[in-house]
Amino acid sequence: MRITPSILNADLANLASEISRIPDADAVHIDVMDNSFVPNLTLGLPVVESIRRHTDHMLDIHLMITDPDRWAPAYAEAGAESVTFHVEAAHAPVRLAREIRRLGARASMALSPATPIEVFESLLGEVDMVLLMTVEPGFGGQAFLDMVLPKIRATRRLIGDRDIWLQVDGGVSAETIARCAEAGADTFVAGSAVYRAADPNAIVTMLRETAQA
Ligand code: DX5
Ligand code: ZN
């Protein structure tokens, strides 16, 4: 069970120190939004390059952008260990996943809540992780969508015994994480649950224990 906190709800003017507050996280989840694929704008490549210089944590980049084919490889080149693109936005997802891997990062595909996994089943052979959105992408602090639970189960079945991580993102908290784990998720993004707490690292540990229970 991996906990990968999103810094979206952290103090974005103090990223290095915010990241240092979660030493026991398995990765730092960084949400890149372009105000086109989603109606919100966050940060991009120069900020990720700076973050890389300030932490040894695994960087888990979640690209919520149009034209990931053009931009995703640069994040791998910047030293991110994992780069996730949305299948709804990618023009040539097989080529893109292979390019990300060629550059030394884990390749990952994300699906918004209404996107069926079955359509993208053939891509499972090209990726190291599947990210299932459990809210509509764009904002932190939204309510978890229970309608995604059957898709988590279906994705776990399709993955079978392959070594592909299954990440859930959106509304993950002490209250919802057990349902996700039970359905087959093994990697959990939590944004507001972690960064709205007085002790973010304690929440990371608590979430991992709850997922494992
Ligand atoms: C939303 C982002 C998430 C977000 C999660 O589009 O992809 O990573 O930060 O935040 P919470 O955990 O608050 O839903
Ligand atoms: Zn995310």
Split into its structural domains, the chain has a count of: 1
Q: Sorting pLDDT into bands at 50, 70 and 90, what band is 113?
A: very high
Which of 29, 88, 189 maximizes ligand 1 atoms within 8 Å of its Cβ, making it the mutation to test the pocket?
189
Ligand nearest to the CA of 33: 1
**Dihedral through CA 44, CA 120, CA 112, CA 208, nearest 10?**
-80
What pLDDT, in 10s, does the model give residues 143-187? 999 999 999 999 999 999 999 999 999 999 999 999 999 999 999
Write out the residue range of the structural domain in which residue 57 sits. Answer: 2-212
Question: What SS3 class is residue 191?
Answer: coil
Q: Which amino acid does the sequence have at 20? A: S
The environment of the single-atom ion ligand 2, i.e. residues with CB closer than 5 A, is: 31, 62, 169
CATH number of 114's domain:
3.20.20.70
Ligand nearest to the CA of 108: 2
The whole-number average pLDDT for the span 26-31 is: 98
The whole-number average pLDDT for the span 84-108 is: 98
Positive or negative, the CA dihedral 141, 168, 131, 192 is positive
What pLDDT, in 10s, does the model give residues 42-66? 999 999 999 999 999 999 999 999 9
pTM exceeds cut of 0.90: yes
Q: How far is the CA of 96 from the centre of ligand 1 (A)?
A: 24
pLDDT at 163: 98
Q: How far is the CA of 110 from the centre of ligand 1 (A)?
A: 13
31 is catalytic: yes
Please answer whether residues 30 and 52 qualify as being in contact, where contact means their C-beta atoms are separated by less than 8 angstroms. Answer: no
CA pair distance 117, 127, nearest whole angstrom: 13
**Residues facing residue 129 across a β-bridge:** 108, 165
Q: How far is the CA of 102 from the centre of ligand 2 (A)?
A: 23
Question: What ipTM did this prediction achieve?
Answer: 0.99
Strands lying side by side in the sheet with 28-33: 2-3, 187-189, 165-169, 129-133, 106-111, 82-86, 59-64, 28-33
Give the closest residue to 145 by CA, choosing from 174, 179, 118: 179
